[in-house]
Structure 1
Amino acid sequence: MSLKTELSHHEGEITPLESPDRFLTAEEKFPHINRSKLLRKCDLHIIPMLAVLYLMSFLDRGNIGNARIEGIIEDLNLTGTQFNWSITVFFFTYCVFEVPSNMLLKHIRPSIYLPSIMVLWGIVMTLMGIVNNYAGLIACRVLLGVFEAGLFPGVTYYLTMWYCRSDMQYRQAMFFTAAGLAGAFSGLLAFGIGKMRGTAGLNGWQWIFILEGIATVVVAVFAYWALYDFPENAKFLTQDEREFLQYSLEYDGYDRDLAAKGASSNQPVGRDNSNDKEFVWQAFKDVQSWLGALAMILIVVPLYSLYFFTPIIVNSMGHSVAKSQLLSAPPALVGAIANVFQAYFSDKTGKRFPFLMANFSLGLVGYSLCIAYGVKRIWITYAGCCIVNLGMQPCFICFISWISVNVSGPYKRAIAMAIVIGLGNMGGAIASNVYRAPDAPAFKQGHTIAMSMVAAGMAIVIGMYLGYGFVNRRKTKNMLSGKYDHLTGAELARMGDRSPFFIYRT
C-alpha cells in the first residue's frame, strides 16, 4: 500500500487522499468551517461540566484539612500520625486504580462511566460524615481513592479525543482550574457549614462531609445527561463540524513542513485507533511514562501539601478557626487564575518548557520566603504560600499537557497518561506527611522538603527538554536520509510518537 493514503477515523479503514499531490490541512479540506468558532462551541458544551466534576472531586478529597480544624481529631480520638494516615491511604488506592480505570474507559462511554464513579464516591463522602472511629475513617478514605481514581486521567484522555495538541493546555487548564477553585471554595464552604455545628447533634466536620457528599451525587446525576461522548456522535455538532474535528485529530501528529523537506513529502500519517494490547506495552516501555511519573510526583508533593495543610498552617499563625477557613481561600484562588492565563499563552506560543521553568522558579521563591520568615512575619509567609500556588498550580497542568501532546495513539496515550498521573499522585501520599503537628507553627521542615521536591522536579524537566530536542534532531536526520521511505502509512501510524513525522513539542 502506498504511503499516499489517508487513515479514516474508523478502525482499520484506509481511503485514498482526495488529492494525491499534497496533504490538505483540516482548514483547507473544510474551508467553510471557522476553527475558532468551532472550538468555542466545543468549549461551551464540554468544559463547564468537566470542571464541575473535578471541582467536586478535589473538594471531596481535600476537605479533610478543613475538617481537622472543625474538630475531627478530638471527636474520633485520633492520636499521633493517625490524621496524616487518613490522608495518605487515599492515594494508595487512587494510584493503583488509575491505569485499570483508563483501560475500562476505552470500552465504556464517558457519559456513563464518569458520572457512575462520581455517584459512588459521593455516597462514600456522605457516609464519612457519620463515622465514629479511626477505622471507619480509614475505610471511607480507601474507598474514596478507588472511586475517584478514574476521573482525572479519564478526563485528561477524554480531552485528547476532542482537541488537538495546540489547543490542549488551555482546555486542560480550564478543567483543572476547578482544583484551585475547590481550594478556595473549600475554605469558604467550611466557614459557612461550620456554623451548623450542633444541628441534629452533629459537629461541623460531619456536616462538611455530608453536605458536600450529597452535592456530589446531585451533580453526578445531572452529568449523565450533560456529558457528551466523542465528536462523531455529538448532537450539538453538524456533520461537517464532526468531520473537521475527526480529520484534525487524525493528522494532529503529522508535521507537513518536515515531510515537505524529504523524499516522502506527501505521506499523510494518521493515527491507529485500535485497542491492540501492543499499545499498552508501548506505553509501559516508553521512557516518557516513567520520567513523567517521577516528575509528576515531585510536582504533586508541594501542590497537595499546601492544598491539604494551608488551613492548618494559617491556623498555626494564631488566627481563629473561622478566619483560618477564610484565609485558606486566596492562595488557591491566585493559583487558579494564574493557571488559566498561563495555559492561554502557552497554547498561543506552542511552548511548555519556558513556562515550566518560570513555575518552578516561583515555587522556589515562595518556599524560600516561608522558610526564612516562618512565624516571625506571618504575612510574608502567607505571601510565600500564595507565590508557591502561583507557580505550582499552573506547573501541574502545564506538565500534564506537555506529556499528553507528546504521546501519540489514543490507546497508548490513555495508558501512558494513567501511568504518569497514577504514579505521580503517589506524591499525594508523601504530601500528606510533609507537614507534621510537632513542626508547628513554623513548619520549617515541611517547607524545606517541599522546596527540595520543586528543585528536583525542575532538574528532571530540563533533562526531558534536552532529550526531546535530541530525538527531534535524530528523527529529522533519519527522515531526510530516506530511512523510512519503505514504510506504509498504516505502519507509520502504528509507530505513534515514534514516527519520524511526529515532532515532540517543547
Structure 2
Amino acid sequence: MSSPETKEKVASYITHDYASSLESGKPVKFVYSPEERKLVRRINWTVMPLVCGILFVQFIDKSTLNYAAVMGIYEDTHITQDQFSWLGSIFYVGYLAFQIPNQYFLQRLPMSKYLGSILTVWGVCLACMALGKNFEQLAGLRFLLGFWEASTYPCIFLLISTLYRRQEQVVWFSTMFICNAAATSIGGLIGYGIRSMHGARGISAWQCCDNNSCEILMILNTNPLPFLTTVIIWGVVTFALGIAFFFFLADKPKSRWFRLTPEEELIVDDRLRDNTVVQNKDINMDHIFEAFKDPRFYCYLGISFLVNLQNGAVTIFSSQIISQMGFSDLDSILLNIPYGVAIGILLAFTTYASKRYDEIGYVAAVMGFITFLGALLLAVIPYGGAKLAGLYLSASSPIYVMLQTSISNNVTGYTKKIFYTGGNLVAYCIGNFVGPLMMVEHTAPRYIGGLSGYMAADILAIILFLYVRWSLNRENKRREKLRKEGQIPPPAANREELDLTDKQDMNFVYRP
C-alpha cells in the first residue's frame, strides 16, 4: 500500500493531463517524466528481446516455402503451381483452426505459461518432421505448422496492449513486423547459401531449406552440419525460446520481473488508466455482444481480409516473381534481401508519421495507396528489373500495423479487446488463404487477374479505414458536446479496475 507521501511524490512527475484530454475531446500528447522513461526502458529490455526473437524465428520458418519454389520443390515432389498456391494457403487453415480455442486459453491461462508451452511443442514438431515427398504430405505439414503458430500474434498483440501506453503501441506493433522484414532479408542470405548446396549428397536445396520437411535419416548421415543448421537448430532455438517464455516472460504490468518500487507501481497505475486494459480471467459475454453490434468491428475485419490477400500471395510468390523477371534462381533468392529492407523502411516511415502527427487513419490510407501502387507496377511493367520496384512497394505490413494499432488504441474491455484481436486474426487467416489462390497458374508470369484483385482490395481497405477514422472522430465530438452540457459524470476514481468497454466508458477518448 503506497503512503500519501509516495502518491504525492508520484503525482508531481506524472505530467499527463487526463482532464485536458476530456475537455478537448482529443488525446493529449503525453510528456514523460525521467522516472517513467527509466521504467519504460526496463520494460523494453525485459520483454521485447524475447518477443522479437520468436517473431524472427517464426517468420523464417513460415517463409521457407517461398525459397523452396526456386530450389527444386516442383521437380522433386511433382507438384503443380496451383498446388504450390494451396501449400501457401493451407498454413492459414491450420492457423484459423486454432483461433477459437486460442481465444479461450488466452483469457483463462497466464500468458507466459500458455505461450511458452505452445512454443516448446512447436519447436519439437519442427525438429521431428519427416520429409514430405508429395503434395499431400507437404500440405499436412504446412497445416500443423500454421496450427501451432496461431497463438503467437494474438498473445503478443495483447501483451503490447497491456504493457504500453496507447501512443507507444504503434512503435512495438511496427517492431513486430520489422522483425519479419529482418527475417525476410536474413532468410534470403541463408537461402542463398543453401541454394548453392543443391545436389550435395543427392539432396535438393529446398530439402535443406524447408524446416518442415528435412528427412531425419539424412541428419544421421556423415557430415550433417548443413541439415543441423536448417532443421534441428531452428527447432532447438524455438524450444529454448519456449522455455524462456515459460519462466521469464513478464506478462503482467506489475510482473515481479520488472522489480517495481512503490513509486513505479503508481506510474504503472497511471499507464493502465491510459491504455484501459484490465486483465481478468472472466469471459464477459456482454463485451462480445457489444462487438457484434459495432459497425467498426466489421470494418476492421474487412480491412484485415482485404490487405492480407496481397500479403499472402507476395509472401510465398516473391522468389518466383523475381525469377520470372529474368533473374537466376540464386539471384531470385538474394533479391529478397532488399525486399525485406524495403519493408523495414516503409514500417519505419509509418511509425514515424503516426507518432509525429498522432495519427492513425490518414497514415493507414497513405500506406494503403503505396501498397496499391506496388501491385499496379507489378501489373503494368511486363518484364525486367524495373518490376522490382512494384514488388518492394507491395508489402501490406504497414497498413496492417495501423489496423492493429487502431484496434489496440480504440477498443477497451479485456474480453472485447481479445475478441476484436481474434476477429482480426480470423480475417487475417482467410485473406492469406485466399490471396495465393488468386495467383492462377495459366496467368503467369504477369498474373494480371490476381494483381487487379489486389488493387481493388487495397482501394476498398483505404475507404474502410477512412470511414473508421470519421466514425471515431464523430464520436469524440459527440462525447465532448455531452461533457460540456454536463450529461457525462467525471470518471470514477477506480476507473482502471472496472473493465469498461470504450462504449460504456463515456470518458474514453478515441484516437482516430
Give TM-score, length-normalised by structure 1: 0.85
Shift of 1:398: 1.7
1:323 alignment partner in structure 2: 331
Displacement of 1:400 in angstroms is 1.0
Structure 1 residues without counterparts, runs of 5 or longer: 1-7, 9-14, 255-269
Q: Which moved more, 1:48-57 or 1:483-492?
A: 483-492
Partner of residue 386 from structure 2, selected from 380, 386, 389: 380
Query: Which residue of structure 1 aligns with residue 448 of structure 2?
Result: 444
> Closer, same or farther in 2 for the Cα pair 1:491/1:244, shift >3 Å?
closer
Q: How far did 1:202 drift?
A: 2.8
Aligned equivalents of 1:343, 1:452: Cα separation in 2: 25
- Give the deviation of 1:169 after TM superposition: 0.4
Equivalent residue number for residue 302 of structure 2: 294
Which residue among 360, 371, 374 is the counterpart of 2:379?
371
Structure 1 counterpart of 2:284, one-letter code: K
Q: Would the aligned equivalents of 2:13 and 2:33 in 1 still touch at CA under 8 Å?
A: no
Amino acid at match of 1:250: L
Does structure 1 residue 496 correspond to structure 2 residue 501?
Answer: yes
Distance in 1 separating the partners of 2:178 and 2:230: 19
| 1:252 matches 2:297 | no
Contact in 1 for aligned 2:47/2:250 (Cα 8 Å): yes
Conserved? CA contact 1:180–1:393, under 8 Å:
no
1:312 is matched by which residue type in structure 2?
Q
Question: In the alignment, is the contact (CA less than 8 A) between 1:126 and 1:212 conserved in 2?
Answer: no
Residues 297, 427 of structure 1: 8 Å contact kept: yes
**Alignment root-mean-square deviation, CA:** 3.0
**Alpha-carbon deviation of 1:32?**
7.5
Which stretch has the larger CA shift, 327-336 or 214-223? 214-223
- The residue that corresponds to 2:459 in the other structure is 455
Would the aligned equivalents of 2:372 and 2:454 in 1 still touch at CA under 8 Å?
Answer: no
User: 2:321 corresponds to which residue?
Assistant: 313
- Contact kept, 8 Å, 1:164 with 1:248, in 2: the verdict is no
The 1:171/1:439 distance shift into structure 2, 3 A limit, reads: same
Q: Would you say 1:475 and 2:479 are equivalent positions? A: yes
More divergent stretch after superposition (355-364 vs 79-88): 79-88
Could you tell which deviates more after superposition, 97-106 or 47-56?
Answer: 97-106
Does the Cα contact within 8 Å between 1:253 and 1:501 map onto a contact in 2? no
Amino acid at match of 1:496: T
Task: Look up the match of 2:237.
Answer: 219
Q: Which residue of 2 aligns with 1:97?
A: 98
Q: Does the residue aligned with 1:230 lie in a helix, a strand or coil?
A: coil
Tell me the distance in 1 between the aligned counterparts of 2:480 and 2:488. Answer: 11
Letter in 2 for 1:350: D
Cα distance in 1 between the residues matched to 2:316 and 2:16: 49
The answer to whether the 8 A contact 1:126-1:213 is kept is yes
For the structure 1 residues 394 and 487, does the alpha-carbon distance in structure 2 shift closer, same or farther, using more than 3 Å as the test? closer
The code of the aligned residue for 2:323 comes to N
User: Is contact 1:118-1:217 (8 Å) kept?
Assistant: no
Corresponding letter in the other structure for 1:277: N
- 1:187, CA displacement in angstroms? 2.1
Using the TM superposition, give the Cα deviation of residue 404 of structure 1 relative to its aligned residue in structure 2, in angstroms: 1.1
2:350–2:367: 8 Å Cα contact kept in structure 1? no
Aligned to 2:86: 85
Q: How far apart are 1:196 and its partner, in Å?
A: 3.2
Inter-partner Cα distance in structure 2 for 1:483 and 1:166? 28
Structure 2 residues without counterparts, runs of 5 or longer:
18-31, 212-228
* Residues 79-88 or 124-133, more deviating: 124-133
Task: Tell me which residue corresponds to 1:4.
Answer: none
The residue number in structure 2 matching 1:230 is 252
Structure 1 range deviating more: 338-347 or 310-319: 338-347
Q: Relative to structure 1, is the Cα distance of residues 32 and 72 closer, same or farther in structure 2, using a 3 angstrom cutoff?
A: closer
**Cα distance change on mapping 1:252 and 1:59 into 2, 3 Å:** same
Q: Quick one: which of 402, 406, 427 aligns to 1:402?
A: 406
After the TM superposition, which residues 132-143 of structure 1 pair with which residues of structure 2 at under 5 Å, given as runs? 132-143=133-144
Distance 1:469 1:34 in 2: 33
Name the structure 2 match of 1:257: none
Alignment correspondent of 2:428: 424
* Percent of aligned pairs with the same amino acid: 22
> What's the offset of the Cα at 1:380?
2.0
Asked whether 1:413 is paired with 2:413, we answer no
Alpha-carbon distance in 2 for matches of 1:388, 1:334: 10
Deviation readout 1:81-122 (Å, 9 max, x if unpaired)? 222111111112212322431431223333222232223333
SS at match of 1:252: helix
SS at 1:247 equivalent? helix
Asked if the contact 2:273/2:495 (under 8 Å) is kept, the reply is no
- How far apart, in 2, do the equivalents of 1:427 and 1:388 lie? 15
* Aligned position for 1:72: 73
Q: How far apart, CA to CA, are the structure 2 residues paired with 1:241 and 1:144?
A: 44
The 3-state SS of whatever aligns with 2:350 is helix
AA matched with 1:176: F
Deviations 1:228-275 (A, max 9, x none): 222312324332465145313331158xxxxxxxxxxxxxxx857462
- Indicate how the Cα distance of structure 1 residues 104 and 68 shifts in structure 2: closer, same or farther if over 3 A, else same: same
CA–CA separation in structure 2 for the residues paired with 1:441 and 1:111: 45
Alignment of 1:18-417 (within 5 A): 26-27=14-15, 34-79=35-80, 81-128=82-129, 130-210=131-211, 211-223=229-241, 224-225=243-244, 226-240=248-262, 242-252=264-274, 271=278, 273=280, 275-278=282-285, 279-375=287-383, 378-389=384-395, 392-417=396-421
Instruction: Return the offset for 1:315.
Output: 0.7
SS of the equivalent of 1:49 reads helix
